[in-house]
Amino acid sequence: MGKKQPDSVNSVPKTTGQVDDAAFYLETHAEENINMDLKALRSKIDRRLLPYFFCCYVLQFLDKVMVNYAAVMGLKTDLNLTGNDFSNIASWFFIAYLIAEVPNVYFLNKLPAAKWLGCNVFLWGVAAAASAGAHDYRSLLAARVFLGIFEATIGPSLMLISSQYYTRSEQAPRFTFWYMGLGVAQILGGLISFGFQHVEHAGLDSWRIMFLVLGLITAVVGVLTFFFTPDTPIKASWLSDQEKVALLQHVGQNQTGVWSSKLNFEQIWEGILDPQLWLLTLTTIAISISSGVVTTYSSTLIAGFGFSGPISALLNTPSGLVSIFFTLLVGYGIRKTSNRWAWNVLCTIPGIIGGGLMSFLPHSNKAGVLIGIYLVNAIVATLPILYQWTMANCAGNTKRSFAAALVAGSFSVGNIIGPQTFQASDAPEYRPAKISVLATQGAAAVLSVCLFLYYIFENRRRDQKHVVDDSVIDETKWAGLTDRQNPHFRYAY
């Protein structure tokens, strides 16, 4: 009783926050009985949300990577692409993607993330279908730029929506599930390309029909997402008031909030100065350089062995199996053991081995280089870790929106750099590009360890300065504070 508590134990900077909408809802529904089966509630939410998230992610990767398959279906010849035209088309998609992340910070604060996502899915479907009408380099480039603009919101939107419904430990397998759509899309992409290459006498080139069909399917999914994905848990018509209260109180332990439409520029400035965000950003860039290589040029690398277009497409499908395996592995592993940093490093190891096989085996060793191409796809599993890590450790609605856009934008930076490592003069081996995969995977592993050490240091510093008081934690759950403003916030690693 006479022991003096450390300073600021009960000092909470309430005026600097922006009160979360969940606080108002809980205040007006305080009388609700919250004796609820949380496992059944999670299952209900999973059934309602995850299928839409999964379909959106499958289609965003398919629409993005179809140009990879179209390259071996005659697109380059039909549009007279020469030199580095194809690399430039790949890079400009991500340049547009990166630029669009700037207004995304604003729109994800002012507009419900689910509605914003649905609109953009519909519009990128239109842009993907429009790619079928390309007649030269410039027209295809224009279609890809618009596709990049509309796809830019997929990562930030899904990150924000997912974090509204699940605790930090629950988020990992859910992020994993919708991100697994990337691996599924890799498999489907090869099969779809193989199928369309056997379309004859249709009056249109096979790659044009492929763009048109996938674009129209995407537009339909966008409409369904707009109407059937709720803006927030509070607006979910399929949840009862009792279920909403139970859910909000359950996710309140995240200390990150659910939703507030106020744009807080102080939180953006805090994000700019936050060391963890820049470490997350640099890690994502390093990972994404390899991702850009795989996304855009895997079919070209395989075709360089002398395989026909259809066979090159089929030989690319095992990449999806590698992506799915590692994505499921890390999702389950983080749910059971946490240690995001260690799982991140684990996934870079096959990437490093794959980069080494691609870089240093002779081009004549088809089997060895193919295995290298497949192994590099393990690094795909690191991106949902980084996305979930960002959402788990950034609090305050504006800061979370900024962080989501920043990390998604850094993904595009890596994908801008990746295709540019492929220069026409390096064909057919493209050795500098392969070496870049090896180097960036090693850098990503080192940066992941740096993040781990930073979080350990920061948590210990906070433990020494602030005694965690459960009664005060209850007050800070919905105060709209950022992770740096809230003395009771502890970082997950």
Token duo for residue 448: 């992941």
Q: CA 449, 451, 452, 453: dihedral to nearest 10 degrees?
A: 90
Q: In the chain, what are the domains?
A: 17-476 (1.20.1250.20)
Least confident of 14-28, 109-123, 265-279: 14-28
C-alpha span between 357 and 328 (Å, rounded) = 25
The verdict on pTM exceeding 0.75 is: yes
Residue 472's pLDDT is 52
Least confident of 295-299, 332-336, 360-364, 483-487: 295-299
Best CA proximity match to 411, nearest among 142, 54, 64, 51: 64
Residue 200's pLDDT is 73
Best CA proximity match to 343, nearest among 360, 328, 361: 328
What band does 439 get if pLDDT is binned at 50, 70 and 90?
A: confident
Q: What is the mean pLDDT of residues 280-300?
A: 79
Comparison of pLDDT for 346 and 364, the residue scoring more = 346
> Is residue 476 over pLDDT 70?
no
Distances (CA, A) of 395 to 160, 161, 453: 11, 14, 20
Least confident of 11-20, 135-144, 311-320, 420-429: 11-20
What band does 168 get if pLDDT is binned at 50, 70 and 90?
A: confident
Q: How far apart are the first and last CA of the chain?
A: 34
Residue 270's pLDDT is 93
C-alpha span between 180 and 55 (Å, rounded) = 10
**Which residue type is seen at 9?**
V
> Is residue 457 over pLDDT 90?
yes
What band does 19 get if pLDDT is binned at 50, 70 and 90?
A: low
Least confident of 53-57, 179-183, 295-299, 430-434: 295-299
Least confident of 154-168, 461-475, 479-493: 461-475
> Is residue 22 over pLDDT 50?
yes
Q: What is the mean pLDDT of residues 336-344?
A: 87
> Is residue 257 over pLDDT 50?
yes
Dump pLDDT digits (tens) for 206-226.
889 999 999 999 999 999 999
- The label of the residue with tokens 């590009």 reads 433
Residue 296's pLDDT is 62
